[in-house]
Amino acid sequence: IVNIKPEDVCILGATGSIGTNTLDVIRRHPDKYQVFALTAHRNIEQLKLQCVEFKPKYAVLPEAELAQELQSFVEYKELDITVLHGVDSLDFVASHESVDTVMAAIVGAAGLLPTLAAAKAGKKVLLANKEALVMSGAIFMDAVKKHGATLLPIDSEHNAIFQCLPEHFVEKGIEECGIHNIVLTGSGGPFLKKTLAEFPAITPDEACAHPNWDMGRKISVDSATMMNKGLELIEACWLFDVKPEQIEVVLHPQSIIHSMVRYNDGSVLAQMGNPDMRTPIAHAMAFPDRVDAGVAPLDFMEISQLTFDRPSKERYPCLALASEAMKQGGNSPTRLNAANEVAVQAFLDEKLGFTQIAELIQQTLTSTEYAEVSTLESVLAADKEARERAQQLVEEMTA
């Protein structure tokens, strides 16, 4: 028996839906994984419990005050944990030489810099934080290549596509592998059947009640508008080096098929499973091996049917906005993502109605400048400008 040291894992966004599912997979395999660092934003009570159970070397919070509270707790419990605060500390733990694997599970643009730091440090990067890739596209992918990082998708659709692609797709490219296109499936969210006339009255809690997945509030709203599928389309273009035209979005309300790859010989490969994020998380953590994820076996008799449909443009305008932004290229996906983050937050704060989310994004895109992006600075500048403009528009719309 060879005694191999467990992999050291850094979890960015440990207290969220992806973070806690990641810790559940780690909990099942203490011989394979150990926690090196945990980071959180506001949910300090959850972080305290995680510190007690997983005993990381580092725990990070953005704000000094919360970090002080955690520090007192760590001393009281006599835990050997270094508590850090500030955004630079996120980069520090994500790129620390002791870390093997970084789970990028912060929501939104706040995750970009630490995720990029992990890529630049050549880590195994498990990417849940799709907004980071949508914002920075080529810059992120270049950093992965240049620094020899391993990028594995956690988003269930991209993880499914990855599983359905041949191993050599990275070297050969999609076309050389005889692939016709990628079929990106989406449930259509909670409002698949609601009449359009009822859309303006949708509340945040209704939008966050997803029929199949239990997720953070931001991605839940994105799923309801299908901006999530739009962001995923952009994410797939970067991850698999394809164009938006090579991706077909199909509604599949049961969320059993997580996405598919269509080959030129008529074969279609699909990855299936119960809708439980521990499957893609365990897949990426153990890749290329497989480990138990704690997910119930798929019971075909219980599912009984799988259905498919076309997404309607009237119901899901955000999907077209995202696809258009990707076709435009340059800073358009960055501006789209920034406007969406502001719009979703305003909707959650009950400042905007549900249908105003798409309107706000569209108006932000038409009233901010298109530009090429070649540096991280230009990405951050486009993000800032679009955020400010979107915030102004929120105020105009609510005035």
Binding site, annotated residues for Mn(2+): 155, 157, 232
**Closest distance between ligand NAD and the C-beta of residue 117, in Å?**
13
Which of 10, 17, 151, 257 touches ligand NAD (CB under 6 A)?
17
- Smallest CA-to-CA distance from 382 within 341, 340, 331 is with 331
Which residue type does 346 have? A
Contact 352, 359 (CB under 8 A): no
Going from the C-alpha of 91 to that of each of 75, 118, 122, 132, 370, the distances in angstroms are 24, 7, 13, 14, 29
User: Residue 199's Cα: distance from chain center in Å?
Assistant: 26
Which of 130, 262, 283, 387 touches ligand NAD (CB under 6 A)?
130
Contact set for ligand NAD, span 144-183 (CB under 6 A):
155
Report the binding-site residues.
15-18, 42-43, 129-131, 155-157, 187, 210, 216, 223, 228-229, 232
Q: 282: helix, coil or strand?
A: helix
Listed in sequence order, the residues at least 6 apart from 54 whose beta carbon sits closer than 8 Å to its beta carbon are: 23, 26, 34, 35, 38
Which residue type does 202 have? I
Residue closer to ligand NAD by CB (options 179, 342) is 342
* Residue 155 interacts with Mg ion (CB under 5 A): yes or no: yes
* Residue 26 interacts with ligand NAD (CB under 6 A): yes or no: no
Which of 118, 183, 215, 261 touches ligand NAD (CB under 6 A)?
215
List beta partners, residue 344: none
Going from the C-alpha of 188 to that of each of 138, 185, 228, the distances in angstroms are 29, 9, 10
Stretch that binds ligand NAD, among 9-17, 262-270, 344-352, 364-372 (CB under 6 A): 9-17
Residue 62 binds what, of ligand NAD, Mg ion, none (CB under 5 to 8 Å, by partner type)?
Answer: ligand NAD
**Closest distance between ligand NAD and the C-beta of residue 90, in Å?**
7
Counting residues that bind Mg ion (by CB under 5 A) gives 3
Residue 105 binds what, of Mg ion, ligand NAD, none (CB under 5 to 8 Å, by partner type)?
Answer: ligand NAD
Instruction: Give me the residues that bind Mg ion (CB under 5 A), please.
Output: 155-157
